[in-house]
């Protein structure tokens, strides 16, 4: 059997879940432009349509749209979350979909229309299952930096509900955009624009590059709802919140790249968005590129082939600039042998590939364990 090399999976397919004027419900629909979105889901201006427009304005290319009924994203209203999950409705319509980023705009415009803490928690849980990343929107109650960090509805409140999760990030403040009808200015949450910035950065520089700084230009945005200074940004950054800034001569830019696990009190390997997203990319690419192993005997010969394939894949990333170590030995390692895969694993049809990579400093490795499905002994 000829075994193909491991190819990288997409990194910026963005799923949007929200309310729209028309179109199929509880079904992921691929959309490649704002025009296609309008043709499918209608021309009515909703938080979902604005978020999708901002995604494409900022060079996003691949979107999955799930249209839902009001307040049924994850059981916010009279439908329980388990019922929705079992029926693959709402957010759970993405349970079998391939996506990398997730955005859930509010259901309607207004100060009291935020999605619930339950929906945010469900979104992160789904992202963990699907090796994806949740771009969370700030609460409308966050009108100052102090409100974000220490307010009664701030990061540590039940109203927020996410805690310090490494599969999610939040950006503040909100964006101001001109209404499609002209004249009026809309206040909108930033997740759609940020997903577009991530997609643009991935394509130009790689998923390992921070979607911030000079590469983090916000396009199609008139202004920010709040202008913050350096001191306020320092407060936000230390809490793991990414600032959106307005600088003379630079325009509006993203000025932070931390996950919600990136607060200064934590010591997480997943403090930074590009490190977390790079790890998800590596894991998903290995799993997808080793499906052939499901029909092969689980033993030393297959382990050697897995080591070779994964090492070749990581070497390509190293040469592309994903790891700063000057040599492969200082940039990554791969283990797959009798120490990583026990007799019990073999009986269960599993092989464990342990991967380490140094995304920031060559001496500091982030370690992943990727489980590859293999043939059970009685299947061989």
Residue 262 and residue 350 in one domain:
no
pLDDT of 353 strictly over 60? yes
Portion of the chain with pLDDT greater than 90, in percent: 76
Cα-based angle 262, 124, 108 (whole degrees, multiple of 5): 105
CATH of the domain at 263: 3.40.50.11780
Determine the structural domain holding residue 253 and report its residue range: 14-274
Mean pLDDT to the nearest integer, 61-77: 79
Per-residue pLDDT, 269:
87
Residue 235 and residue 298 in one domain:
no
Three-state helix/strand/coil letters over 40-64: HHCCCCCHHHHHHHHHHHCCCCCEE
**Domain for residue 236, yes or no?**
yes
Q: pTM of the entire structure?
A: 0.94
pLDDT of 60 strictly over 70? yes
Mean pLDDT to the nearest integer, 59-75: 84
CATH of the domain at 311: 3.30.360.90
User: pLDDT tier at 379 (50, 70, 90 boundaries)?
Assistant: low
User: pLDDT tier at 85 (50, 70, 90 boundaries)?
Assistant: confident
Per-residue pLDDT, 77:
58
Q: Are 244 and 254 in contact (CB under 8 A)?
A: yes
Residue 77 and residue 172 in one domain:
yes
CA atoms of 73 and 91, how far apart (whole Å): 5
Per-residue pLDDT, 76:
62
Per-residue pLDDT, 361:
57
CA atoms of 190 and 171, how far apart (whole Å): 7
Q: Which residue has the higher pLDDT, 162 or 267?
A: 162
Residue 270 and residue 334 in one domain:
no
Helices 273-289 and 300-320: crossing angle in degrees, nearest 10, is 140
230-266, pLDDT tens digit by residue? 999 999 999 999 999 999 888 999 999 999 999 988 7
Per-residue pLDDT, 363:
53
Nearest-10 Cα torsion for 9, 12, 17, 22:
-100
pLDDT of 351 strictly over 90? yes
Residue 178 and residue 303 in one domain:
no
Residue 245 and residue 310 in one domain:
no
**Domain for residue 283, yes or no?**
no
End-of-domain residue from the set 240, 274, 308: 274
306-332, pLDDT tens digit by residue? 999 999 999 999 999 999 888 999 999
């Amino acid at each position: 059997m000829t075994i193909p090399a491991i190819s990288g999976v997409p990194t910026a397919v963005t799923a949007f879940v929200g309310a729209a004027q028309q179109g199929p419900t509880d079904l992921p629909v691929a959309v490649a432009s704002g025009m296609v979105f309008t043709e499918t889901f209608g021309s009515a201006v909703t938080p979902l349509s604005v978020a999708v427009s901002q995604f494409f304005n900022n060079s996003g290319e691949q979107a999955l749209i799930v249209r839902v009924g009001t307040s049924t994203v994850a059981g916010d209203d009279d439908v329980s979350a388990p019922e929705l999950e079992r029926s693959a409705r709402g957010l759970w319509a993405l349970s079998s979909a391939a996506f990398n980023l997730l955005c859930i705009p509010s259901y309607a415009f207004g100060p009291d229309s935020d999605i619930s803490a339950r929906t945010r928690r469900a979104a992160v849980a789904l992202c963990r299952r699907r090796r994806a990343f949740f771009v969370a929107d700030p609460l409308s109650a966050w009108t100052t930096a102090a409100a974000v960090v220490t307010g009664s509805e701030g990061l540590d409140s039940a109203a927020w509900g996410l805690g310090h999760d490494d599969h999610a990030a939040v950006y503040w403040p909100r964006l101001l955009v001109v209404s499609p009808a002209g004249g009026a200015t809309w206040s909108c949450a930033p997740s759609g624009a940020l997903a577009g910035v991530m997609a643009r950065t991935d394509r130009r520089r790689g998923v390992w590059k921070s979607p911030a700084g000079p590469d983090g230009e916000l396009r199609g945005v008139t202004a920010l709802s709040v202008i913050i200074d350096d001191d306020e940004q320092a407060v936000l950054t230390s809490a793991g919140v990414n600032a959106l800034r307005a600088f003379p001569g630079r325009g509006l830019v993203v000025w932070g790249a931390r996950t919600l696990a990136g607060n200064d009190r934590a010591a997480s390997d997943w403090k930074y968005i590009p490190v977390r997203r790079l790890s998800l990319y590596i894991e998903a690419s290995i799993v997808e590129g080793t499906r052939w192993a499901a029909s092969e005997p689980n033993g030393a010969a297959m382990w050697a082939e897995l080591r070779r394939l994964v090492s070749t894949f990581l070497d390509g990333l190293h040469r592309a600039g994903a790891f700063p170590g000057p040599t492969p030995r200082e940039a990554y390692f791969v283990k797959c042998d009798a120490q990583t895969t026990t007799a019990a694993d073999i009986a269960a049809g599993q092989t464990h590939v342990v991967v380490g990579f140094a995304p920031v400093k060559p001496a500091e490795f982030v370690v992943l364990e990727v489980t590859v499905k293999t043939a059970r002994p009685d299947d061989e």
